């Protein structure tokens, strides 16, 4: 995929080159390549099991590619990586665990360091600023285990952002959010990408909530990926080549339906009732 010129002015943060991954005799990823640029919001779109989470694990260094390269601003991945903020799909915290939302955010500063952190005014201000940036002051002192889906999502985003990463990865951040929280989180992420010039990569099995804010899409199917602008990638010829059989792409007002028949099972990109989409850059 070639990308339009307007993207190339922004510095490249991450590049995957021909990444393939074999796990216990199965090829999970095949020749996956794309790049992410500062200030851009990219959607990593595909159905469950297509390879989205595996791509995240490769970027995070939790899996080593069988072939291909992962480059951060042109360099191999450093061991202790604060350049990447990561928001996992779920964390399994018991409601009793003594961590408030603000403690979770503070762990983002130096949770990888040994020893006990000394409380300081600067530290506290940093955490307060971050809580404010994601509009989380109201539940800053609530136990993490008692936060709602949207509140936890925002706390985890603050946790990931406080170490000032160049790249923010979010694994299905919109899954199990109600529509209002979904729009709030999408708007927040778009704002973060532009204001802080961070490359944001969001995985989702449903692309429509991201359409208004997505600069670029990486579409994954059966371990293969195609990337570019939405117009370039979400087309019948491109997706049919990706899936290896005919795929229908339907446009309904400002929503897109991908109907990938046969092998994948009837995978519909449109899974929810239609709802009004927020204008670009909400937040």
Residues in contact with another protein by the rule CB under 8 A:
60-62, 79-82, 84, 86, 88-94, 96-100, 103-104, 107, 110-117, 138, 141-145, 147-153, 159, 175-178, 180-181, 184
Give the nearest distance from C-beta 46 to another protein in angstroms. 19
Length of the chain (residues): 283
* Residue whose structure tokens are 């204008």: 279
Residue closer to another protein by CB (options 84, 260) is 84
Q: How many CB atoms are located within 10 Å of the residue 11 CB?
A: 13
Minimum Å distance from CB 104 to another protein? 6
Min dist CB 162 to another protein, Å, is 12
Torsion of CA 279, 184, 85, 99, to 10 degrees: 170
Closest CB to another protein among 105 and 221? 105
CB of 51 to another protein, least distance (A): 17
Q: Cβ of 237: how many Cβ atoms within 10 Å? A: 10
Looking at beta carbons only, is 176 or 262 nearer to another protein?
A: 176
Q: Which two tokens stand for residue 30?
A: 């095949």
Cα gap 21→32, rounded to integer Å: 9
Using CA atoms of 50, 282, 87, 266 in order, give the dihedral in degrees to the nearest 10. Answer: -20
- Is 165:82 a contact under the CB 8 Å cutoff? yes
- 98 vs 265, beta carbon nearer another protein: 98
DSSP assigned state of 100: B
CB of 246 to another protein, least distance (A): 34
Distance CA 51, CA 74 (A): 24
Q: What tokens were used for 218?
A: 């990486």
Which tokens hold the place of 277? 């989409």
Residue 169 CB, shortest distance to another protein, in Å, is 9
Which residue lies nearer to another protein by CB, 56 or 243?
Answer: 56
SS3 label, residue 238: helix
CB 237 within 8 A of CB 225: no
Of 66 and 148, which has the nearer Cβ to another protein?
148
Measured from the CB atom, the residue of 103 and 264 that comes closer to another protein is 103
| Nearest distance in Å: CB 243, another protein | 29
- Is 75 in a helix, a strand, or coil? strand
CA angle 5, 232, 266 (to 5 degrees): 155
């Amino acid at each position: 995929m070639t990308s339009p010129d307007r993207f190339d002015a922004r510095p490249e943060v991450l590049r995957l080159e021909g990444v393939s991954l074999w796990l216990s005799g199965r090829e999970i990823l095949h020749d996956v390549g794309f790049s992410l640029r500062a200030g851009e919001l990219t959607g990593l779109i595909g159905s469950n099991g297509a390879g989205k989470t595996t791509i995240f694990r490769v970027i995070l260094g939790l899996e080593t590619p069988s072939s291909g390269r992962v480059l951060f601003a042109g360099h191999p991945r450093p061991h202790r990586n604060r350049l990447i903020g990561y928001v996992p799909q779920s964390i399994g915290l018991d409601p009793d665990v003594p961590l408030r939302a603000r403690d979770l955010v503070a762990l983002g500063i130096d949770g990888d360091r040994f020893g006990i952190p000394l409380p300081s005014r600067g530290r506290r201000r940093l955490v307060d600023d971050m809580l404010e940036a994601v509009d989380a002051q109201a539940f800053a002192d609530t136990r993490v285990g008692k936060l709602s889906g949207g509140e936890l999502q925002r706390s985890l985003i603050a946790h990931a952002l406080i170490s000032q990463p160049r790249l923010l990865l979010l694994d299905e951040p919109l899954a199990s959010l109600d529509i209002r929280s979904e729009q709030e989180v999408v708007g927040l992420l778009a704002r973060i990408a532009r204001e802080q010039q961070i490359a944001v990569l969001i995985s989702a099995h449903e692309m429509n909530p991201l359409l208004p804010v997505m600069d670029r899409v990486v579409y994954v199917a059966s371990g293969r990926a195609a990337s570019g602008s939405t117009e370039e990638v979400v087309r019948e010829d491109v997706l049919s080549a990706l899936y290896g059989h005919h795929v229908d792409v339907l446009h309904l007002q400002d929503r897109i339906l991908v109907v990938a028949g046969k092998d994948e099972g009837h995978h519909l990109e449109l899974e929810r009732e239609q709802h009004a989409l927020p204008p670009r850059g909400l937040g």
